[in-house]
Structure 1
Amino acid sequence: MPRLTTRAVIGIGSFVGFLIVVWLANTSTDPSHPHKTNSKPSTSLRCHRWARSLKTGLTPYISNDKTVIITGAAGFIGSHITRYCVNRLRMTVIAVDDLSSGYEANIPVSSKVTFVRGDLKNATFVWSLFRGRKIDYVYHLAGYPSRRLSHFVRSYIYRNNLLASVNLINAAVKAGVKCFVFTSSVAVYGSSELVVSESSIPHPQDSYGIAKLSTELELRATKRVHDLEYVILRLHNVFGPNQNVVDPYRNVISIFMGQIMRDTPITVLGDGTQKMSFTYIDDIVSLVARCPLYPAARSHTFNLGSDNVIDINHVVEVVKSVMKRPNHPVKHVPAQNEGKLAGIDHSKANCFFKQTPRMEFEVGVSSMADWFRAVGAERLKRSRLAALKVETKKNIVSLWLNEDVSEVDEVDHLARLVA
């Protein structure tokens, strides 16, 4: 596939800016935004807001005759969704991944699973996934997830997280797909001192969040023009087995476990008092896999995750405990200016799906540690990442400058695994 020219990358950036403007103009009329709010709603109002939508379909469609495409199927969340769709929903799955940071071993072995390796940035490859098949749903989970690193690899993020998504949306329209499920992120909200809900106006503060929001806007525009149904799920801080334990630029819990395994200090940005909510993978898998089966959920956006808020210092202590290294050293490094949220309202997902995360944080981390010792540690031992390449090093996190970092005009792949 030919490289994008500088003019093409600038064009993508302009397109992203245009989509943000469209978002602000249409927020009040989108079905996912019944009204604007900056605070958590009272219990009596929560489900009443969506009463009309909920009446449209509470009984789910059947799933065992469906053929679906799942992108990022060899990665963390994608592998769990693939397993659930095959084993629990009896779907036929076309599992797609480029194996740049996932593992084929994560994909379940089944006569109902066909693994296809390829690059979603290549529109010809994307269309080949649909050709000759009747695809009912697309679950789009592929993409590079590092918010902090995205400031320094903007072109890479837009090509992998936006251009690839547009290729997939185009193909879904041409193939007559019934529903497109997109895993977005609470990164679209940016920073807020108030609790954010799906009707809060997004202000993404990093290229990762901008790319996610742009894909959301593309899906809404495609619904209006081509009637492609969608469900958007804004996830945050999901953790558990099958996470990438090699990449040091994402997934804080796996980073901490990896640092313990390598016998290097756990690195904490800032003083560690920043608070985050963490969601164990098993608590969201069913909802993500089943959401296109519910007519009421179509053309809606949902925040998805745990309400429990935990500070990073506590995360460190839990990880050290479950890894049986209570005295492992911790190193604090200067914090990066990043978005912080006071809280996230999940009441809409609770109303539609009657399901809330239940796994206690400590139990989930312990379960992940069991997997890490059985599988993750061996992957960490056998693999490493190639030297980090960025498009600009200006103001990059000092912690990353300790690595072998080079500045290039265009990043081919910053997270490729090396055996």
Structure 2
Amino acid sequence: MSRRALITGGAGFIGSRLAARFARSGWDVDVLDPLSEQVHGVDPVRTSASLRGLEDSARLTIGSVSDPDALEAALGDAEVVVHLAAETGTGQSMYEIGRYADVNVGGTATLLDRLVRGGHSVRRVVVASSRAVYGEGAYADADGRIVYPAGRDDARLRAGEFDPAGADGRPLRPAPTPEDAPLAPTSVYGITKLTQESLVRAVSPAVGIEPVTLRYQNVYGPGQSLRNPYTGILSIFTGLIARGEPINVFEDGLPSRDFVYVDDVVEATFLAATEPAAAGGVFNVGTGVGTSVLDVVRALFTAAGAEVPAIVSGDYRLGDIRHNIADTTRLRETLGFVPATDFATGLAAFAAWADGRDVGADGYRQSLEELESRNLLRRG
């Protein structure tokens, strides 16, 4: 008899590939997704590559995880729920606060309300969280001690002092952030992801369900939305290059992120959903390697075979972090998983997939105007 999994938000970039991964291992898969216009476009059947990817691997229920009836229709006899459904985007979350709270926190609460009532087969819930829960995360001070600085002060950012400093004023160096680091999100998005985690970890064991938390770093790869201007600098910059428009490089171009390829994220998530050793665990999903924004721009120019002006503007967004790199020791030691795709290889695959695709209109400029009108984007 086949095992069954439900993936909330499963028609998206990660979820559609995860559905295929489950299906290859003989699972039956249900997907619950509202097919939001911001992610899938106005005509998802025509424009959404991730939606088309579900055709051979999953049964789709169109609806929100916040809708109890849609959730009931999709849940069926699932043994595992992978909870990907969420609004994403650090910047947008700072002025769409109600929507982010309603979907991310309210949707998780609706899911847990259903599970608490019983009459289902769920034994494990995997919640997709984010590196945003750490805020700035781990740094090493001038003496090599690991410290966890608070969010960056606006006065220092206005002065062009973008790197966090220690209590003695000396510069700090980014260090891999472990799962037991202090949790201090600096954005509404990060707060909602931390709340999702906390709800799942508090409620699930009380009703005999195993919680697993995954803290994704910056996920990228083929299938990533090229139309959503609120998340993913790789897709945003790719769209600007395709349209021949300049790239506004924030701060001094040296913020760094841990970019992790989508197939590695999918495999780590599948293991988190199926391996007994994952039960109750919290795992970073990343590579442990930081790449600066300027290095991303240069790599995209090489991969695309085209360049546009890249202007290091000194602009900055409130709520952004400077660096974050995952400590992936626990993922390796507990689940035996090490990401297989380095950034150069993954970026080449992403660029080849994106070449010639319709990147849509320039919604990125509008997204910056929205931030600036609310005083959340400051000009350098």
Classify the TM-score, shorter chain.
Answer: 0.7 to 0.9
Q: Is the 8 A contact 1:147 1:207 kept in 2?
A: yes
Q: Is the 8 A contact 1:152 1:392 kept in 2?
A: no
Match of 1:412 in 2: none
Query: Alpha-carbon deviation of 1:110?
Result: 5.1
Give CA deviations for 1:255-285 in whole Å, capped at 9, x if unaligned: 0001111211112111101122111112221
Q: 2:351 aligns with which of 369, 382, 386?
A: 369
Query: Alpha-carbon deviation of 1:386?
Result: 12
Give CA deviations for 1:119-161 in whole Å, capped at 9, x if unaligned: 222223222323xx21111111121210122111111110111
Match of 2:50 in 1: 106
SS at match of 2:223: coil
- Which aligned pairs between 1:35-114 and structure 2 lie closer than 5 A? 65-86=2-23, 88-100=24-36, 101-102=39-40, 103=44, 105-107=49-51, 108=53, 113-114=58-59
Matched pairs, number: 329
Separation in structure 2 between the aligned mates of residue 367 and residue 111 of structure 1, nearest angstrom: 23
Q: 2:132 aligns with which of 171, 182, 187?
A: 187
Separation in structure 2 between the aligned mates of residue 111 and residue 367 of structure 1, nearest angstrom: 23
Separation in structure 1 between the aligned mates of residue 240 and residue 334 of structure 2, nearest angstrom: 40
SS at match of 1:267: strand
Residue 338 of structure 2 is aligned to residue 356 of structure 1: yes
Q: 1:117 aligns with which of 48, 59, 62?
A: 62
**What is the Cα-based RMSD across aligned positions, in Å?**
2.4
Q: Is the 8 A contact 1:191 1:339 kept in 2?
A: yes
Give CA deviations for 1:313-367 in whole Å, capped at 9, x if unaligned: 1100000111111x31112331124223464211000011212113121111110
Separation in structure 2 between the aligned mates of residue 273 and residue 227 of structure 1, nearest angstrom: 46
Distance 1:154 1:390, change over 3 A: farther
Q: Is the 8 A contact 1:153 1:392 kept in 2?
A: no
SS at match of 1:128: helix
SS at match of 2:317: coil
Greater mean deviation of Cα atoms: 273-282 or 314-323: 273-282
Separation in structure 2 between the aligned mates of residue 385 and residue 310 of structure 1, nearest angstrom: 22
Q: Is the 8 A contact 1:152 1:393 kept in 2?
A: no
Q: Is the 8 A contact 1:231 1:299 kept in 2?
A: yes
Match of 2:310 in 1: 330
Match of 1:279 in 2: 260
Match of 1:127 in 2: 72
Match of 1:24 in 2: none
AA at the equivalent of 2:100: I
Separation in structure 2 between the aligned mates of residue 272 and residue 309 of structure 1, nearest angstrom: 13
Q: Is the 8 A contact 1:91 1:112 kept in 2?
A: no
Q: Is the 8 A contact 1:85 1:91 kept in 2?
A: yes
AA at the equivalent of 1:231: V
Q: Is the 8 A contact 1:136 1:177 kept in 2?
A: yes
Match of 2:271 in 1: 290
Give CA deviations for 1:167-225 in whole Å, capped at 9, x if unaligned: 12222343241111111001001113244211112011111111111111111111342
Percent identity between matched residues is 26
TM-score (norm 1): 0.73
Q: 1:177 aligns with which of 102, 117, 122?
A: 122
Unaligned runs of 5+ in 1: 1-63, 400-419
TM-score (norm 2): 0.80
Separation in structure 2 between the aligned mates of residue 391 and residue 98 of structure 1, nearest angstrom: 25
Separation in structure 2 between the aligned mates of residue 97 and residue 343 of structure 1, nearest angstrom: 30
Match of 2:377 in 1: 397
Greater mean deviation of Cα atoms: 316-325 or 67-76: 67-76
Query: Alpha-carbon deviation of 1:290?
Result: 2.5
Separation in structure 2 between the aligned mates of residue 392 and residue 383 of structure 1, nearest angstrom: 17
Q: 2:110 aligns with which of 167, 170, 174?
A: 167
AA at the equivalent of 1:156: R
- Which aligned pairs between 1:127-166 and structure 2 lie closer than 5 A? 127-130=72-75, 133-166=76-109
SS at match of 2:87: coil
AA at the equivalent of 1:357: P
AA at the equivalent of 2:65: L
Query: Alpha-carbon deviation of 1:232?
Result: 0.7
Q: Is the 8 A contact 1:179 1:231 kept in 2?
A: yes
Q: Is the 8 A contact 2:82 2:273 kept in 1?
A: no
Distance 1:339 1:381, change over 3 A: closer
Match of 1:411 in 2: none
Match of 1:223 in 2: 204
Q: Is the 8 A contact 1:278 1:305 kept in 2?
A: yes
Separation in structure 2 between the aligned mates of residue 357 and residue 228 of structure 1, nearest angstrom: 28
Q: Is the 8 A contact 2:128 2:215 kept in 1?
A: yes
Distance 1:336 1:387, change over 3 A: closer
